[in-house]
Each structure stands twice: as C-alpha cells, then as structure tokens.
C-alpha cells in the first residue's frame, strides 16, 4: 500500500471513531421524555366541518315595476267617482239551491235526460259523488249562476259577480260534458 492510501484509511478510521464517540444517546433523554408525555395525553377531538347550504340563485322579476328608491308618481283615480253602469244584482231573497253550495270547478256534467214532454235535463256530479238533475232556470255555483241553456253536451250559465266598484256584472260560463273538450 502506498502512503497516500494509508493516510486515507487512517483518516477514515478517525472519523468513524469520532462519530461513534458522539452518538452515546445520553443527550436525547429530555426529548424522549417529552415525546412519551405527549403520547400519553388524551387525544383531542376535531369537530366536523359545518354543512353549508347550496347557493340558490334569485331571479329578480320586478324589472317592470317602479324602482324602490324613486318617488311614487301621483295617480288620479277617475273610475272611483263613477257610479256603476249596470243595474244587475243577484236576488238575495230567493232560497238557495243545493248546487249553489259548490264552486263550478267542483261540479261536472255527466249526462242528460229527456223528459216525456221533450224538456232536456242535465245530470251534474258534485265533488262528494252526488248526482243532481238540473234544467234551464235552476241555479248552480257560488256566484249566483243561473242556467240559461241545456244541450246534450253543454250547460250555459250566466253568473252575477262583483265588479270591484260596488256593483255587479253578468259573466257567461259554460259546463261541458265530462270527457269532452270545450
């Protein structure tokens, strides 16, 4: 072996012995004690994340109305002072018929009957399952509806409804045979 190689070997042995002398383990006792104490303590509880509600988009649909920060425009009501032009009003003194207790939406025409004298009767079913026979002149519906015509597929009515200004107005309505479009 050459001197050069012997010097390198000697340097390596010195370094290994120096490292071995420094690693006796006596310098980490306080760190080992701290780690043991930390592991012995009870572990903490982490609360779950709160649930967030999904964002719901709001569509502003009042674009055609007055802006809330603008002063209101004075509107003069000319219709309030007018008297009702119609002299139509329901007869409140007559006794109410059975079908006047039902709204027209709750009634349906289910058929017709023809009498021996040729008059045509309509069969009306109410929402409780009852069947009623009506003819021209009878009343039905909650808006004083008077039957003005009965055909095999249709009943024509004239209702008397409030006009919103203290008066009454006549409104034509019809009830068609169930199962037909009309």
111-159 pLDDT per residue, tens: 999 888 888 999 999 988 899 999 999 999 999 999 999 999 999 999 9
| pLDDT tens for each residue of 165-176 | 888 899 999 998
Q: What is the pLDDT of residue 159?
A: 93
Q: Which helix (H) or strand (E) holds 5?
A: helix 3-22
Q: What is the distance between the alpha carbons of residues 161 and 138, in angstroms, rounded to a whole number? A: 17
Q: What is the pLDDT of residue 147?
A: 93
12: phi then psi, degrees, rounded to nearest 5: -65, -40
Whether residue 178 has pLDDT greater than 50: yes
**Residue 181: pLDDT band with limits 50, 70, 90:** very low
pLDDT score recorded for residue 22:
63
- 136 with 149: CB under 8 angstroms? yes
Residues listed for the chain = 182
Find the distance separating the first CA and the last CA of the chain, reported in whole Å.
119
Q: Count other C-beta atoms under 10 Å from residue 122's C-beta.
A: 26
**Greater model confidence, 150 or 14:** 150
Q: Is the pTM of this model over 0.95?
A: no
Question: Tell me: the pLDDT tens digits for 25-34?
Answer: 567 788 888 9
For residue 172, the SS3 value is strand
């Amino acid at each position: 072996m050459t001197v050069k190689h012997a010097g390198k070997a000697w340097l390596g042995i010195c370094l290994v012995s120096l490292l071995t002398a420094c690693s006796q383990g006596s310098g980490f006792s306080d760190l080992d004690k701290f780690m043991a104490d930390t592991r012995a303590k009870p572990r903490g509880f982490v609360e779950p994340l709160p649930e967030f509600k999904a964002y719901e988009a709001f569509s502003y649909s009042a674009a055609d109305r007055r802006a809330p920060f603008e002063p209101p425009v004075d509107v003069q009501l000319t219709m309030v002072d007018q008297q009702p032009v119609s002299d139509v009003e329901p007869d409140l003194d007559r006794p109410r018929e059975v079908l006047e207790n039902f709204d027209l939406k709750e009634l349906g025409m289910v058929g017709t009957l023809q009498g021996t004298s040729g008059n045509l009767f309509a069969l009306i079913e109410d929402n409780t399952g009852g069947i009623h026979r009506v003819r021209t002149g009878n009343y039905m519906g909650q808006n004083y509806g008077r039957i003005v015509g009965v055909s095999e597929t249709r009943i024509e009515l004239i209702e008397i409804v409030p006009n919103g200004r203290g008066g009454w107005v006549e409104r034509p309505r019809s009830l068609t045979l169930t199962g037909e479009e009309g």
